[in-house]
Amino acid sequence: MSSIKINTVIKDMKDILGKKRYITADPGILDTYAFNWNADNLNEGKSKFANRPLCVVLPKNIHEIIRVVKYCNDNDLQFKAQSTGWGVHNTVGEENKVILLDLRRMNKILDIDEKNMIMVVEPYVNGAQAQAELFKYGLNCHIAGCGANASLLASVTSMVGQGWTGVSTGFSNRNILGVEWVQPDGNLCQVGSWGSFNESDSKKEIDASEWFLADGPGPSLRGVYRGYFGAFGGLGVFTKAAIKLYYLAGPPELETEGHSPAIILKKWKLPKYADAHMIDWQKWEDFKEGGLKLAQSGICWSLCRNAAFIVALAASPSNTEFYNNQMFQNLIKELKFNLTIITMANSKREAEYQDKVIRKIIENTNGEIVELIEAEPFKALLFMAIAKQSNTMRGVFRAGGGFFTSLGALGSWDWCVEGAKIGKNLKKKEIEKGGLVDDGADNVWGLPYENGTFSHLEELYMYDVTDPESRKASIRYLESVVEASKKYPLGLGLGTVDGKGSEMHNIFGPLACNYHKWLKKIKEKFDPNNASDPGFYINPKKVNIK
C-alpha cells in the first residue's frame, strides 16, 4: 500500500493537469463514481456502492494521461480509465488506492472515411453522437445493448457488449481497426496499420483511411489488449480507436418528435422501404430453426430475441399501465419464443423480396407474425428502440429497480438455445421463492451475429434493489449459474468472469483451456507494477495456477 498522502497526490495532479477544477477528492463526488449499476451484486448485496476511488482526474489529452500513469507506477498507486462509465465494471477494484481517469473531456469524432467506412473517435464519443454524423453519409455503427449513451471506444476496446443490429454489424471486438494505447507502464503504442504512418509525428492530423488494419505482422496485439471480454480498464488506457462502419439503407436523418426517452417517429411512419415485425413460434425447436434461417438469409438489418415480459414492459409508459392494461398482459400470455426483425431496403423491389423471404421462412418453420405489433405505432416503437437505442434499457430497470444478466457465451445458435433452457429452469427456482421479479422465467435476450456465424442468448433477471431478501436471491441465482456452468458446457457467460475477475478465473480457467494462465502472463508482462487496476480483469496475486 502506498504511503503517499492524499494532499500530496492532489498537489501533484494539479501540477500535471494545470487546474485544480479537473481534480477532486471530495467524498460526495467520489461516491457518485462508486454508485453504479450492479454494485450490490458485486458486494454480495451489502451495499449499493462499489469501492471509492482515491481521487478523480479529468485529463484533456494523451500527454496528461501518460504523466498520470507514470506517476502511479512511481508511487505504488493504481489507475483506471473510464469514458461514459456505464456499469459497475467502471468502478475501482480497491478502496482509496486508485486514481480514476474520467475521459469526458476527450469527446471528439476525429475523422470519418466515408469510402472505406472507418471512423476514428476519442473515448467519450457515444453511439447517439456518432449516429447523428454517420447517418448523413449513409453509414451506421454497432451500438451495444446498453444504449446509445455508451462509449463506442470502450465497447470496441475494453468491454463486452452485444447490440441489436449484430446480425448485420457484428459487435465489440469484431469492429476494432486500430488503437492508440497508453500501456500500463506509461509507454505509448499505436496498434494496427495507423502505427506505420505515425511513428514520429504524433501531432499529425488524423486520417481515418490509414486505420484499415487492426493488427501488424506477428502475434496479435489486438488479441492481447482486447480478447473477448476486454480488460475492463486493467491493461492501460485507450485514447483513440478506429471503428468499422456499415452501409445504411435509410434516410440521412430520421423524422422524429418528442423528447428522450419517448422519442418517436413522426406520425408513426417508418422510413421508406423499412419494415419491422415480431415473429413468434410455439416451440423452442421451431424458434431455433426459424431464427437461424432468418439470420442466414442475409436480409436482416436487425434480428433479436426479446422475451414477452420485456416487450410489454418497454412498450408501456409506466408500471401501472403495464400491469393494468389488458393488452399488455394478453401479449405476455400469447408470445412464446419470438424474434424482432427489422429490414431496410434501397428500393421497392428489394423490400418486396425481403418480405417474401420472411414469410416463406415463417411458413416453413411453423411461425407466425404477431398481429398486434403490425399496427403502425408498435412498428414505429420497435424501429426507434432498435435503430436509435433510445429507450431499450428502461424496461429492465423499471420492474424492480435492478437487473443483471447471466449465461450468454458465444457459440452456435442451436447451442445457445439449449443454454437458454437451462437458464430458465435455474431462474424459476428463485422466482418461486419470491426473490426475483416474476417475468415468466424465460427472459432471454440475444441474437445470431454476422448472418448466423455465431450467436449469444443471455438470461436477464430483475430484482428489487430496496429489498435485502431480493438482493440475496440475485446472489443465489448467480451462484447457481456458476455451479451449472461446471456441470454443463455453458461456456464463459456474462455475469461470471466479467463480474468478479480473478475469483471467477480460478473457476472457469481450468474449464476453458486454462486461459487464466495466459491472462496472468499478459498482465505480468505488460503491467509489472500491477498499476492498471486489475479488479475486473485479473490480479496475478489472486489467481491460483497449479
Looking at residues 410-421, what average pLDDT do you find? 93
Strand locations in 90-244 (E): 98-102, 109-113, 118-121, 139-140, 176-182, 188-191, 237-244
Q: Which amino acid is at 498?
A: D
Lowest average pLDDT, out of 1-15, 291-305, 309-323, 441-455, goes to 309-323
Position 499 pLDDT exceeds 80: no
Residue-wise pLDDT for 45-89, tens only, equals 778 899 999 999 999 999 999 999 999 999 999 999 999 998 888
The residue to which cell 451484486 is assigned: 41
- 3 state SS of 80: strand
The dihedral over CA atoms of 519, 524, 527, 529, expressed in degrees to the nearest 10, equals 140
Q: What is the pLDDT, as a whole number, of residue 498?
A: 60
Q: Which tops the pLDDT comparison, 474 or 2? A: 474
Distance CA 47, CA 44 (A): 8
Identify the band that residue 134 occupies on the pLDDT scale cut at 50, 70 and 90: very high
Which of these ranges, 76-85, 106-115, 189-198, has the smallest mean pLDDT? 189-198
More confident residue, 394 or 35: 35
Angle between helices 413-432 and 284-296 (to 10 degrees): 140
Q: Where are the beta strands (DSSP E) in 388-475?
A: 401-407, 444-449, 454-464
By mean pLDDT, which of 69-73, 187-191, 257-261, 415-419 is the weakest?
A: 257-261
Quickly state the pLDDT bin for 391 (edges 50, 70, 90): low
Residue 95's contacts (CB-CB under 8 Å, 6 or more residues apart) are 51, 52
The domain defined by 109-247 folds into 3.30.465
Has residue 434 got a pLDDT over 80?
A: yes
Environment class of residue 235 by beta-carbon count within 10 Å: exposed (0-12), middle (13-18) or buried (19+)?
buried
Q: In this predicted structure, what is the pLDDT of residue 203?
A: 57
Check residue 202 and give its pLDDT. Answer: 53
The contacts found for 326-335 with CB under 8 angstroms, 24 or more apart, are 327/372, 331/372, 332/308, 332/440, 333/308, 334/280, 334/308, 334/370, 335/278, 335/280, 335/307, 335/308, 335/311, 335/370
What does the mean pLDDT of the chain come to? 90
CATH class of the domain at 256-387:
alpha beta
Give pLDDT, residue 390: 63
Average pLDDT over residues 408-428: 93
Q: Using CA atoms, how far apart are residues 514 and 517, in angstroms rounded to an integer?
A: 6
pLDDT tier for residue 200 given thresholds of 50, 70 and 90: very low
**Among 342-356, 367-381, 391-405, where is mean pLDDT lowest?**
391-405
Distance CA 198, CA 12 (A): 31
Percent of the chain with pLDDT over 90: 62
Of residues 493 and 517, more confidently modeled: 517
Q: Give the per-residue pLDDT at 20.
A: 87
10's enclosing H/E stretch is helix 6-17
What is the rounded CA–CA span in Å between residue 290 and residue 366?
A: 8
Buried b (16+ CB within 10 A) or exposed e, 91-105: bbbbeebbbbbbbeb
Q: How confident is the model at residue 204 (pLDDT cuts 50, 70, 90)?
A: low
Burial zone of 23 (CB within 10 Å; 0-12 exposed, 13-18 middle, 19+ buried):
buried
Mean local confidence (pLDDT), 231-250: 96
- % of the chain at pLDDT higher than 70: 96
pLDDT score of 262 more than 80 = no
Task: List the one residue out of 189, 410, 385 whose CA is nearest residue 306.
Answer: 385
Contact 518, 228 (CB under 8 A): no
State yes or no: pLDDT of 247 exceeds 90. Answer: yes
Q: Which residues pair with 119 in a beta bridge?
A: 112, 243
**How many CB atoms sit inside 10 A of residue 219's CB?**
9
- Above 50 in pLDDT, residue 338? yes
Question: Which is more confidently placed, 506 or 135?
Answer: 135
pLDDT of 265 higher than 80: yes
Per the CB < 8 A criterion, the answer to whether 18 and 5 are in contact is: no
3-class DSSP state of 448? strand
Helix, coil or strand: residue 288 = helix
Cis? peptide before 261, omega within 30° of 0: yes
DSSP symbols for 494-525: BTTTTTSTHHHHHHHGGGTTTHHHHHHHHHHH
* pLDDT reported for residue 319: 85
Domain ranges across the chain: 6-102, 109-247, 256-387, 502-542
Half-sphere exposure of 374 (CA within 13 A, CB side): 6
Give the list of residues 6+ apart from residue 453 with CB closer than 8 angstroms, or none: none
| CATH number for region 6-102 | 3.30.43.10
90 Cβ contact list (under 8 Å, min separation 6): 33, 36, 80, 82, 233
Give me the mean pLDDT over the 283-298 stretch: 96
- Indicate the range of 104-118, 171-185, 187-201, 437-451 predicted with least confidence: 187-201
Residue 351: CB partners within 8 Å, gap ≥ 6?
273, 275, 343, 345
